Structure 1
Amino acid sequence: MTHNAITAAAWGFVCCFVLCMLLVVTKRWHGALTMDFTDGIQKFHTAPTPRVGGIPIVLGLVVAWSVTQQDLKDLLLPILLAGMPAFLFGVAEDLTKRVGVMQRLLATMASGLLAWWITDYSLTRVDIWGVDWLLSFTLVSVIFTAFAVGGVANAINIIDGFNGLASTMATLAFVGYALIAWQVGDYILANASFVLAACVWGFFWVNWPFGKIFLGDGGSYFIGFALAWVAVMLLARNQSVSAFAALVVCVHPVTEVLFSIYRRKVRKDHPGMPDRLHFHSLVKRRYVARWFGGYSNVTRNSITGVLVGLLTIIAIILACLTYSSTALSALAFLGLGLGYVSFYARMVRHHWCSPLEFLLIKPNTQTRVVV
């Protein structure tokens, strides 16, 4: 990182941390609007908590942008501007609890379209024969990019279940993209990714370990959009980077959302219906509750969040080693995806089995056994 980028990252970290602390100490003034209460099947916290952590992250990024050099500003500004639909619709849900899932999904896709309009970047390849030919058509490429951006943004929202989980994963993923960009000589993108990581890291230290503030939908959607757009820029600016390597970095949220759709389909549940069968939920109930049963629920939540979030380190190492080879990075993505399914099966069935066997068993025997 250049000295200027380090300065911008430091400003982003400090501003985000301080603003998060201010929201925590002033929650009695704004709590009627900003609190996340404890009712709901996916709620694991035990006290009402501000869920507007995305606001300090965005403001911290604005401050970091304002103090950095022009070439870095040119990469960060489109992320700030284009991320507004995803961020604002998410914050609206945080404050009103009345913005539907489809509206938020469309907002994240609109952010992808706006980012393309501002930068002219889009996904023109995924390193799959035939699909790349389709993506050579601008309309197809832009629509596909919008879907991909919306998918990643919603995936981050889905894994945002425990203290430190989404912020650990996202911080590490930004670092992973920065390392790949640095390896291929795209130092400006590497610096931009590090600045984004620093802003999220500032939030982490107020969210973890005591859960004093949550990302909320505004935070998770903005971070998800930013991650997706950094990946788009990495591929658009560097033809030597495999599209599968970019996917490997975010393998956990991507696999989680795909498997959640599959799981709800075979269980004949609505795809948008919340449940407690996510990977991180099972890790807490199967292992953390057993190993750390004497600790408080908040402590167990925080341990689970960091344990699952740190799994991203494995993905980053594999992505950094295989980014120049489509075959190897695709193999890494497949291996990590199958590993996810195998471990999920182990938590559900209490013994190891083939991931293909688990995916093909009868719906009513797959996850009904979870207690």
Structure 2
Amino acid sequence: MAGMLSGAFVAYLMDQPLFAILLLTSLPMFLTGLAEDLFRRVSSSARYAATAFSALIAVWILGIWITTADSYVLEWAFYFKATAVVVTLFVVASYCHAFNLIDGLNGLASGTGLLIAAGLAAIGAITGQQEIVTMSMITAASVAGFFVFNFPFGRIFLGDGGAYIIGYMLTWTALVLMHRVPETSTWAMFLIFFWPLADTLFAIFRRKSRGVSLDTPDRLHFHQLVLRALEIFFLGRNRRATANPLATSVMLPVISLPVIAGVVLWNNPLLSFLTLVVFGAAFVGAYRFGITMARNRVIRPKPRVEPEFKQAA
């Protein structure tokens, strides 16, 4: 937050006030997340509501909301302003919490934020939107200042407040880009934000399948699967200090692939959608394959012991 405030001041002096405005609207969300970090007494529903409230303030001040789904099936819903605003609040709040969900390894959430910021900056440069480039680079620089202390040794951590503010500023940067450059594909934005989206949707599916509350924490996220796979297959037990940053190093190149695809296909809705489907299928397939391999390695059948009279025979 300190880095973002400094960047917002510089951007304001450059006659680019939008980042500072968005940062001010984020305060209800950020302070609620910070309160949870400090006191551990703020429920997830209260934090979600605070995030939606921050997004509502931004919609009211900026007059910006999602106006298209790039889908003939869903497009009708965005003809109604109330529906479009509600969808916008849901998207912003959900992505903020998605960044909190993937904050399970040193450098993972912040590294993902850096990749997304770079992708948004690239599209901003392609479309000539200098303020989008500035907003993305402020976020990237702020996250990078945190990243060098968090990765690989975990000297400091994001907490809820830190994860929320990264998700909030990146999501709003994408929404402003779509508003100013209408030919930007919604599906391309989903590609750029693919990893938080996929991990959150799969967590919802996983918890619904088990019949537990959606806010029930578990240790079955993709990054936790990779972490345990490294311990089981390569490093051995009691090597968490090594496995943690190594898992992030393995995952970040993979996370960059849909970001790159989103930049390349930024104005191609059909190809963006098909590519999103491919990445989604690959995510689920890789997760299920990893679970199966881990179970086969950990749960081995006991060797059969022949009866003594058969051995004698």
Q: Which consecutive residues of structure 1, in runs of 5 or more, have no partner in the other structure?
A: 1-57, 352-366
- In the TM superposition, what whole-angstrom CA distance separates every residue of 1:256-285 from its partner, at most 9, and x where no partner exists? 111111111111222111111110000011
Aligned partner of 1:312: which letter?
I
- Secondary structure in 1 aligned to 2:16? helix
Letter in 2 for 1:109: A
Change (3 A) 1:294 1:97: closer
User: Structure 1 residue 203: deviation in Å?
Assistant: 0.2
Q: 222-231 vs 202-211, which deviates more?
A: 222-231
The residue number in structure 1 matching 2:253 is 310
Tell me which residue corresponds to 2:222. 279
Residue 152 of structure 2 corresponds to residue 209 of structure 1: yes
CA distance in structure 2 between the aligned counterparts of 1:133 and 1:124, rounded to whole angstroms: 10
The structural deviation recorded for 1:113 is 0.8
Mapped to 2, the partners of 1:325 and 1:96 lie a distance apart of 46
Distance 1:247 1:230 in 2: 13
Alignment of structure 1 residues 20-59 onto 2, 5 Å: 58-59=1-2
Say which of 181, 184, 196 aligns to 1:253.
196
Preserved CA contact (<8 Å) 2:3 2:141: no
Q: What is the SS of the residue equivalent to 2:276?
A: helix
Closer, same or farther: CA 271–113 of 1 in aligned 2, 3 Å: same
Distance 2:177 2:288 in 1: 34
Counterpart CA distance in 1 for 2:221 and 2:125 is: 34
Q: 8 Å contact 1:288–1:303 — kept in the other structure?
A: no
1:76-119 CA-to-partner distances (Å, cap 9, x unmatched) read 11221111121111000000000001001111111211111121
Q: Which residue of the partner structure matches residue 311 of structure 2?
A: none
- Residue 36 (structure 2) pairs with residue 93 (structure 1): yes
Alignment partner, residue 306 of structure 2: none
Contact 1:85 1:111 in 2 (8 A): yes
Q: Report deviation, 1:308.
A: 2.0
Question: Which consecutive segments of 4 or more residues in structure 1 shift more than 6 A?
Answer: 367-371
User: For 2:298 and 2:212, how far apart are their aligned partners in 1?
Assistant: 16
d(CA) in 2 for partners of 1:138, 1:283: 42
Matched, 1:139 2:92: no
The code of the aligned residue for 1:251 comes to F
Structure 1 position 71, deviation (Å)? 5.4
- The residue type paired with residue 126 of structure 1 is A
* Match for residue 205 of structure 2 among 262, 272, 282: 262
Does the CA contact (< 8 Å) of 1:157 and 1:217 recur in 2? yes
- Superposition deviation, residue 70 in structure 1: 4.4
| Alpha-carbon distance in 2 for matches of 1:281, 1:290 | 14
- Offset at 1:294? 8.1
How many angstroms apart in 1 are the aligned matches of 2:227 and 2:249?
A: 11
- Look up the SS of the partner of 1:310 in the other structure: helix
Greater Cα shift, 99-108 or 77-86: 77-86
Q: CA deviation at 1:290?
A: 2.8
Deviations 1:19-59 (A, max 9, x none): xxxxxxxxxxxxxxxxxxxxxxxxxxxxxxxxxxxxxxx11
2:102–2:196 Cα contact (<8 Å) kept: yes
Deviation per CA, 1:204-237: give whole Å up to 9, x if none: 0011111011000000111111121111111111
Aligned equivalents of 1:164 and 1:208: distance in 2?
Answer: 5
Question: What residue is the counterpart of 2:112 in the other structure?
Answer: 169
CA distance in 1, matches of 2:82, 2:173: 21
User: For the residues of structure 2 that align with 1:158 and 1:225, how far apart are their CA atoms?
Assistant: 14
Q: Taking every aligned residue pair, what percent have the same amino acid on both sides?
A: 34
Q: In 2 relative to 1, CA 332–259 (structure 1 residues): closer, same or farther, beyond 3 Å? A: same
Within the candidate set 257, 262, 268, 1:319 is matched to 262
TM normalised by structure 2 equals 0.90
- Of residues 132, 154, 160, the one that matches 1:189 is 132
Q: Which amino acid aligns with 2:250?
A: L
Distance 2:14 2:82 in 1: 29
Cα-Cα RMSD: 2.0
Looking at structure 2, the residues matched to 199 and 333 of structure 1 have their Cα atoms a distance apart, in angstroms, of: 29
Which runs of no fewer than 5 residues in structure 2 stay unpaired?
300-313
Mapped to 2, the partners of 1:316 and 1:137 lie a distance apart of 30
Q: Counterpart amino acid of 2:135?
A: A
Confirm whether residue 218 of structure 1 aligns to residue 161 of structure 2: yes
Distance 1:266 1:135, change over 3 A: same
